[in-house]
Amino acid sequence: MAIIMSGVPVANSVEDEVRRDAKRYSETYNRKPGLATILVGSDSSSANYINMKQKKASELGFHSPHKHLNDNSTTKDLIEVVESFNEDELVDAMLIQYPPPKGVDFEEALYHVNPDKDADGMHPLNMGRLALSMPGPIPCTPAGIEAILAFYSVQVSGRHVVIVGRGLTLGKPLSLLLSQKRDSANAAVTLVHSGVSDLKQITLQADILISAAGVPGIVSKDMVRRGAVVVGAGVRYEGKKLLPDVNEDVEEVASYITPRVGGVGPTTVAMLFRNAISSAFRLKELTK
C-alpha cells in the first residue's frame, strides 16, 4: 500500500515560515502586511473560502481588507475595486475569489491587477515570468504540489512527470514549474489532457503522475505503473459532494499518493500567503 502524502504538515511548515516573515515585516515597517480579498456574488462555497482565508490571514499576522460585491455587479464594478486596491499602499497583495457570477469577466478583472500584487500568481505577466524562470508569484496549487513532493523526499529531478490536465490554473503552470532547473524540479514533463485517445499508454510511463483534469475517476488503478508516485489535484463538486480525479484503488499500486481530502488543498492556501508576504517585501524593494 502507498505511503500517504498528507498536505497538512507541509502547509503547517510553510505557514510557520510565513508567520515569522509577517512578524519581521511588521517590526521592520511598523505595519502588518496586507492581503485584500474580493468576493462577487452570493455563492456560499466562495463565501466560505473567503471566510477561511480571512481567518487564516489574522492567524498569520496579516491585515486583510475585504470587499463584497453583490450579484448584480458588473465587470466594471469589479475592476474599480481592483484598481482601488492597486492604489492602496496598505495592500501588498490581493485575490479575486473564483468563480464570479455569470456576466462578470474574471480574466478582464485579473488583467487589471497590479502583477506585483497578484497573490494567485495568475496574471499574464506572472505566467510569463514563470515561463522564463523569473522571480514572481507562482500559482498556488502548482507551488503546493512541488512543496509536497519535496517534503516527502520524492525525487523529481531527471524523472518522467505526466500531468493530466492542461488548465491555466494548474496543469500548464505546473508543467512549467516542474521542468525548471532546480533540485525540487528539473523533470521531463509530459502534459496531456482528457481527450487524448491513448491516455493510459502515456500515464503508465509516468514515474510521477499528477491528475489535474477535474474529471472524476479519470485515473484508475490500471493506468498507474506499480511504484509510481501519484498526486491527485483535480476535483469536481456535485452539490456538496467532492469527486476526485483519482480512484481509491490507485493506492494499491502507487508508492506514494496524496489523500483524497487534506492533500493538495491545505498547501494551496499556504502558498497563497507565501506569495502575499513575498509581494509585500518585493514592493518595498521596488519603492526604495
260-281 tens-digit pLDDT: 889 999 999 999 999 999 999 9
Quote the CA–CA distance of 115 and 98 in Å, as a whole number: 17
Q: For the domain that residue 66 is a member of, what is the CATH number? A: 3.40.50.10860
Assigned domain for 114 exists:
yes
Quote the CA–CA distance of 33 and 139 in Å, as a whole number: 20
Instruction: State the average pLDDT over residues 101-126.
Output: 96
| Domain boundary, last residue among 125, 148, 170 | 125
Residues 153 and 259 in one domain: yes
The C-alpha cell 491545505 sits at 266
Which pLDDT score is estimated for 241? 76
Question: Which residue type occupies 90?
Answer: L
pTM: 0.94
Q: What is the pLDDT of residues 19-30, one digit of tens each?
A: 999 999 999 999
DSSP calls for 75-103: HHHHHHHHHHHHH-TT--EEEE-SPPPTT
Residues 153 and 225 in one domain: yes
Residues 94 and 179 in one domain: no
Determine whether 19 is exposed, middle or buried from the number of CB atoms within 10 Å of its CB (0-12, 13-18, 19+). Answer: middle
Residue 243 domain boundaries: 140-266
Assess whether pLDDT exceeds 90 at residue 83. yes
Percentage above 90 pLDDT, the chain:
87
Assess whether pLDDT exceeds 90 at residue 239. no
Assigned domain for 53 exists:
yes
Assigned domain for 212 exists:
yes
Q: What is the pLDDT of residues 45-72, one digit of tens each?
A: 889 999 999 999 999 999 999 999 999 9
Which pLDDT score is estimated for 29? 97
Assess whether pLDDT exceeds 90 at residue 164. yes
Assess whether pLDDT exceeds 90 at residue 176. yes
Assigned domain for 135 exists:
no
Residues 253 and 151 in one domain: yes
Assigned domain for 252 exists:
yes
Assigned domain for 276 exists:
no
Assess whether pLDDT exceeds 80 at residue 287. no
Q: For the domain that residue 259 is a member of, what is the CATH number? A: 3.40.50.720
In which band, very low, low, confident or very high, does the pLDDT at 288 lie, cut at 50, 70 and 90? low
DSSP letter, residue 118 = B
Residues 105 and 154 in one domain: no
Which pLDDT score is estimated for 159? 98
Measured on CA atoms in the order 263, 213, 138, 146, is the torsion positive or negative?
Answer: positive
Quote the CA–CA distance of 111 and 108 in Å, as a whole number: 5
Residues 147 and 90 in one domain: no
Assess whether pLDDT exceeds 90 at residue 234. no
Assess whether pLDDT exceeds 80 at residue 238. no
Number of domains in the chain: 2
Q: What is the pLDDT of residues 182-213, one digit of tens each?
A: 999 999 999 999 888 899 999 999 999 999 99
Which pLDDT score is estimated for 123? 96
**C-alpha cell at position 61:** 499576522
| Domain boundary, last residue among 125, 154, 188 | 125
